[in-house]
Amino acid sequence: MKTRAAVAREAGKPLSLETIDLDGPREGEVLVEIKATGICHTDEFTLSGGDPEGLFPSVLGHEGAGVVVEVGRNVTSLKKGDHVIPLYTPECRQCEYCLSRKTNLCVAIRATQGRGVMPDGTSRFSSGKDTVFHYMGTSTFSNFTVLPEIALAKIREDAPFDKVCYIGCGVTTGLGAVMNTAKVEAGARCVVFGLGGIGLNVIQGLRMVGAEMIVGVDINPRRKEMAEKFGMTHFVNPEEVEGDLVPYLVDLTKGGADYTFECIGNTKIMRQALECAHRGWGKSVIIGVAGSGQEISTRPFQLVTGRTWMGTAFGGARGRTDVPRIVDWYMDGKINIDSLITHVLPFKDINEGFDLMRRGESIRSVVVF
Ligand code: NAD
Ligand code: AHE
Ligand code: ZN
């Protein structure tokens, strides 16, 4: 079949809007019509050329929602018409990682996912004679896409696609970093670095668990108002702080933060986030993704004296289990997604969504097909 898709043909160039070919679902696979997709900073990271796993040409996008159109052989948990959210972190419930109960990082299809192909080693996308690669196993910047059954969460049918698509990455990552990874307790003092599509969901999660102090750090002063609406108690613009940011934040949190979150992808800030965590018990969670050649560093003393450096992918969520619950939270009014979706764009304007993010004007842009 043919599908409209935004193809990443070359690093650093705008996506190319094309009609390309899509083969039907093979064994264990599902054809999905994507109704809406968010644009996450990770898409921009890969498009920029900084991602060691970035492949060109490929169909990016990993924050979508849509409807099952067709299922391949031996698909048992989904049927035509089901509403679904694609999962870049699948949940097979059978691999060593899933069975360990210690991680959400299912490895059933991770190797082929990183090579831009389906589990049988081939791509369903092509353009003429040329292969077009999948991305993160999801490729939601295509009106139709094929995914393995284990990479789809079935969700309720009354949930609006143009809102709950954000649960496919940003919402779940932010809430999950707080609840699953850091396990923040009521009364905690916390610092969140980067108040974009992820950081604001970290703040939302911190308010839900009853954190007492929620400090937001961002160089974009336009983030303050939205962050306050979501529960931020103190705003810090590093460009307005005289002297070093770390001692400033240690003072502000009265000795260091119980929990800090890096939601930018800047290795220098990852260090600051660790070092403003409380001596003896502070935990610092890396969410931001950084490119090839980037490394984090600190004095070992920072860890010897009781700080913990940790990281999270998809907020530690087990997608097929947790995503439908988060959709329920949204439908029950327990979480706010609408305010964070600052722009809704038709597919033809998807590149404008990237520009809005680069200019710091959007929190989340959602593209509708
Ligand atoms: P975003 O562009 O919406 O937000 C980034 C924010 O950081 C912006 O508000 C920006 O002003 C701020 N910022 C940039 N430089 C700064 C600095 N030096 N000091 C303070 N603030 C600064 O991006 P996003 O979609 O929220 O993604 C954030 C990061 O999280 C990215 O690296 C993305 O790739 C990563 N991410 C990781 C996961 C995961 O599972 N680990 C999931 C989603 C996104
Ligand atoms: N391909 C990158 C890795 C990027 C990365 O860490 N991705 C996160 C999700 S970001 C969503 O916006 C993730 O899930 N990581 C776990 C994994 O298995 O990739 C690189 O650096 O190679
Ligand atoms: Zn993402």
Q: Which two tokens stand for residue 246?
A: 């770390």
CB 125 within 8 A of CB 18: no
Which of these, 309, 255, 244, 253, lies nearest to 279 by C-alpha position?
Answer: 255
CB 138 within 8 A of CB 88: yes
Q: Which two tokens stand for residue 251?
A: 């003072």
pLDDT, position 94: 98
From ligand 2's centre to the CA of 313, what distance in Å?
7
CB 307 within 8 A of CB 282: yes
- Residues 77-99 pLDDT 10s: 999 999 999 999 999 999 999 99
pLDDT, position 302: 98
Q: How far is CA 351 from CA 39, 102, 271, in A?
A: 10, 38, 32
- Mean pLDDT for 197-222 is 98
- Mean pLDDT for 316-333 is 98
pLDDT, position 292: 87
- Residues 225-237 pLDDT 10s: 999 999 999 999 9
Q: Which atom of ligand 1 is nearest to the CA of 41?
A: 25
CB 329 within 8 A of CB 100: no
Q: How far is CA 94 from CA 29, 100, 114, 150, 168, in A?
A: 17, 10, 20, 10, 22
CB atoms within 10 A of CB 162: 18
pTM of this structure: 0.98
Q: Which atom of ligand 1 is nearest to the CA of 89?
A: 40
CB 46 within 8 A of CB 8: yes
pLDDT, position 278: 98
Please indicate whether residue 357, judged by its CB atom, sits closer than 6 Å to ligand 1: yes
Pairing state between β 259-262 and 283-286: parallel
Q: How far is CA 188 from CA 134, 180, 192, 199, in A?
A: 41, 15, 13, 17
pLDDT confidence tier of residue 351, bands split at 50, 70 and 90: very high
- 182: which DSSP letter? I
Proportion of the chain above pLDDT 70, given as a percent: 100
Q: Which two tokens stand for residue 364?
A: 């989340």
Proportion of the chain above pLDDT 90, given as a percent: 99
- Name the residue of 42, 178, 191, 235 whose CB sits within 8 Å of the most ligand 1 atoms, as the mutation to test its pocket: 42
3-class DSSP state for residue 35?
strand
Mean predicted lDDT score pLDDT of the chain: 98
CA dihedral over 157, 160, 165, 168, signed as positive or negative: negative
Determine the residue type at 119. P
- Mean pLDDT for 13-24 is 98
CA dihedral over 298, 192, 333, 179, signed as positive or negative: positive
Q: Is the pLDDT of residue 57 over 90?
A: yes
Distance, in Å, from the CA atom of 267 to the CA atom of 272, rounded to the nearest integer, reads 9
From ligand 1's centre to the CA of 122, what distance in Å?
32
Q: Is the bond preceding residue 25 a cis peptide, omega within 30 degrees?
A: no
From ligand 2's centre to the CA of 6, what distance in Å?
21
pLDDT, position 256: 98
pLDDT, position 178: 99
pLDDT confidence tier of residue 160, bands split at 50, 70 and 90: very high
Structural domains in the chain? 2-168+337-368 (3.90.180.10), 173-313 (3.40.50.720)
Q: Is the pLDDT of residue 191 over 90?
A: yes
CB 39 within 8 A of CB 354: yes
pLDDT, position 289: 98
pLDDT, position 110: 98
Distance, in Å, from the CA atom of 62 to the CA atom of 140, rounded to the nearest integer, reads 5
Q: Which two tokens stand for residue 63?
A: 């924050």
Q: Is the pLDDT of residue 279 over 90?
A: yes
The H or E element that residue 125 is part of is strand 125-127
Q: Which two tokens stand for residue 319?
A: 């997608």
Pocket of ligand 2 (CB under 6 A): 40, 42, 51-53, 88-89, 105, 110, 169, 289, 313-314
